[in-house]
Amino acid sequence: MAQVTPLDRVAVITLDGLSGSGKSTLAKQLAVALNWSYIDSGAWYRALTWAVLQNGLAVDDSTQVLQVLSQIELTSDSDGMVVVDKQSLRDELRTQLIDKNVSAVADHFDVRDALNEKMRGLLAIENVKGVVADGRDAGTIIFANAPLKVFVEVPLEVRAQRRFEQQRKLDSDVTLTQVQHALSQRDSHDAHRGSAAPHPTDESYILDNSNQSVEQAVGRLLTWHQQIFAAK
Ligand code: DC
């Protein structure tokens, strides 16, 4: 008889999309609505970047990054907050220093493989009945067997306008052009990560998140969840 692995036992929904598409907000709320766990894969890259910098090592050297990964205990709590050596990290992961360095960490394919294995390991934890995971390659690579994969789409101009409105509360000098330029640079960096570049699969559901409220979008996701998982 074929062995049942945690990947078969635990229900998984993935949400992928570009920076500023709102996927994390939706994924978090969907996880709450379903009472499932939440994995923010971007936060895992950020946490590893934080640990590399704390150790004074080089983010662009994959051997050093892997060394740090092998020495820390990296996991996440049920809210999706990443925990490094028992320290929950939130604001530490959203600094400009991490923003500046995280892409270099995410560019190493051997680091990606190791981090993906750790994220998959969360499914083996007892009592996890379902997981909502978001990122760039959550549905294409990390949880490629997920029964429901969603790709969140929002045009660059709309993402930039939303980000600009958030950022100008913190920095009154920031301009829409600057924000749009930064997002477009992140998009093009993400697009050059080969198979890990954000893209929908043939089976992905496309969620246009440009013109609806969070409640409406989560409602749509819950409908898809019903359709896919009720049929199983
Ligand atoms: O979504 P975010 O801004 O928190 O992601 C942080 C970085 O990690 C960003 O450079 C994209 C990268 N990332 C990735 O390469 N693969 C993922 N599954 C998630 C994030």
Given a cut of 70, is residue 77 above it in pLDDT? yes
- Please tell me the distance between residue 135's alpha carbon and the centre of ligand 1 in angstroms: 6
pLDDT tens for 174-219 read 999 999 999 999 999 999 999 999 999 999 999 999 999 999 999 9
Contact 204, 13 (CB under 8 A): no
Please report the pLDDT score of residue 3 as a whole number: 66
Answer yes or no: is the C-beta of 41 below 6 A from any ligand 1 atom: yes
Smallest CA-to-CA distance from 76 within 23, 22, 135 is with 135
Smallest CA-to-CA distance from 143 within 127, 123, 163 is with 123
List the chain domain ranges.
Answer: 12-229
Contact 196, 136 (CB under 8 A): yes
- Position of tokens 């980000």? 163
Answer yes or no: is the C-beta of 106 below 6 A from any ligand 1 atom: yes
pLDDT tens for 108-137 read 999 999 999 999 999 988 788 899 999 999
- Please tell me the distance between residue 214's alpha carbon and the centre of ligand 1 in angstroms: 21
pTM score: 0.94
DSSP 107-169: T-HHHHHHHHHHHHHGGGSTT--EEEEEESSIIIIITTT-SEEEEEE--HHHHHHHHHHHHTT
State the closest ligand 1 atom to the C-alpha of 45, by its place in the atom list counted from 1. Answer: 8
Which residues partner with 148 through β-bridges?
Answer: 13
Can you tell me the distance from the alpha carbon of 67 to that of 70, in angstroms, rounded to the nearest whole number? 5
Answer yes or no: is the C-beta of 76 below 6 A from any ligand 1 atom: no
Q: What is the mean pLDDT of the chain?
A: 93
Please report the pLDDT score of residue 4 as a whole number: 62
Q: Does domain 12-229 have CATH number 3.40.470.10?
A: no
In this structure, what token pair is assigned to residue 93? 């992961």
Answer yes or no: is the C-beta of 133 below 6 A from any ligand 1 atom: no
| Amino acid, res. 224 | W
Please report the pLDDT score of residue 1 as a whole number: 55
